[in-house]
Structure 1
Amino acid sequence: MEDMKIKSLSSFFLLFLIAITHTHVCLAECDNVKDYCPTSTKPQKQVIFINGLSCENPDNTSAHDFKSNELSKPGSRDDFGALVKIVTASKFVGLNTLGLAIGRSDIEVDGLVNIHNHPRATEMVYVNQGRLLAAFLNTQNQLFQNTLNAGDVFVIPKGLFHFFLNRGEQVATFFSVFNAQNPGLGSLSPQPSQSVQKIKIKLNSLSHSQFHADTDFTLELLDIVSDHL
């Protein structure tokens, strides 16, 4: 009887260990087992799938797979005067399995990339032209903001809500690199109403204010978008 209990316990711990190991493998973007694995544009029956994307036959890989012109043109304009484009391995095949995604944002004068976050990635931005305000909110509701000019680099830590305001007199353009195959996108106002200008005015006002570590800035953010949910 005692032996049966010991065997049962051993089996339980073995299953528990397997479950933990499996969870780690599924949730983490682990190191590559190959140099590269460009996304296959014509999946065959016998292919390797990593992160949901199939790899092309290594014999067919060429230098062309590692070049993209996806960021040569801006994306589609939204109601806030921003044109945002995020490119993943589905469009830039050479990115597959590398744990990276890229993006481009063009903001019109007085325009705004509205409050959002990327739950699976840190974002590093490089300002190509223009002058803009970049800001993010940490988990202690503390605001970090900076005015960025052409040539400046700014980093938004993983999962934190952030926004960009064009403070210059010309279109502001910046490029982004994300350290995840699929950064994800969470927005506090997915369906903005007609009073977009109200959000811009409030964010401009808040960006001039002084905040302390104990300030519940989350409530301010929710107030900004309360009419747009």
Structure 2
Amino acid sequence: MARGFLFALPFAIALAACQNADAANTHTIAAPVASAPAQETPGLKQAVFAGGCFWGVEAVFSHVKGVTSAVSGYHGGAANTAHYDDVGQGNTGHAEAVHVTYDPAQVRYDELLRIFFSVIIDPTQANGQGPDIGPQYRSALIPIGPEQDKAARAYLAQIAASGLWHGRIASKIEPLRQFYPAEKYHQDFAVLNPTHPYIAYWDVPKVAALKQMFPGEYKADFTRN
């Protein structure tokens, strides 16, 4: 993939991904597709979402009421390749992903699905999101337990039948494997680097769309890791 600009960052590496901010912004904000309420037992739950660069996925979910944690990381590959430089090569099996902890009394899994597909990703883009191209940027749902699996499969079927997107739905459901948190400098990246060109161009509009489209779920505070 194109490396885009090499920006001055507060850590001594040049990030090879999540930064091609000069690419055309082709992300389309979609109207939310209705879903049947997920039946979830009380208590904190966990979910994993892969949707391109994890900075933006984390940024949006960290502004959702009821989300108590949103951790950027890697899912799908082995422990010894769960490192940014390795994952960026696109051959580890990992996807950049975000592990979300949430309270279903405030936000249900099906509501997280609506947010994910409405403002975070383009589900028709295969092996990439926006300017970030490669299998490490694929969009996928990783359900935790049969209730999430049922809801995820039903919602993918609903958006495929909705007609809101032109093209085949490329987002997949992947089996749960070990989630590996990303390096510390990736955590809370959007809130710590609000003027970073990638964040300003690609991710700030997604958070703004969350606030506009889901005012009942939006919170101004950022859930920090």
Same fold (TM over 0.5): no
Structure with more relative contact order (C-alpha pairs < 8 Å, separation 6 or more): 2
- Structure number with the higher helix fraction is 2
Question: TM-score scaled by structure 1?
Answer: 0.26
Question: TM-score scaled by structure 2?
Answer: 0.26
